Amino acid sequence: MFRWLCPVVMLALAAPALADDDDHDRARAAVERGAILTLNRILEVAARDTPGRVIDVSLDEDDGRYVYEVEIIGRGGQIVEMKIDAASGRILEREIDD
């Protein structure tokens, strides 16, 4: 039984990494075909709005459009979460957590 279980456990542990690679490939393809802006461009938009240190970025698909979610620790120590349209760079939502 152990011989059978070991490959299953290893595959389960590798699944998140495989999903990350898949997401990365999907994002790269979207940038290459001009469907979304590059991450550098999105970070420029975020930095203009909220100077500080980026602590998290993700790219999600929401109702058929790509949205970057960016979290920044602002200069005053507050955490700012924003949703930015990946195609236009327009800030869709901005929330401050004190």
Q: Given this model, what pLDDT does residue 23 score?
A: 73
Delimit the domains of the chain by residue range: 1-35, 36-98
Distance between CA atoms of residues 89 and 67, nearest Å: 9
15 has pLDDT over 90: no
Q: Given this model, what pLDDT does residue 6 score?
A: 41
Class of the CATH domain delimited by 36-98: alpha beta
* Residues contacting 25, CB < 8 A, separation 6+: none
Per-residue pLDDT reduced to its tens digit, 40-97: 999 999 999 999 999 999 999 888 889 999 999 999 899 999 999 999 999 999 999 8
Q: Which residue has the tokens 């401050």?
A: 96
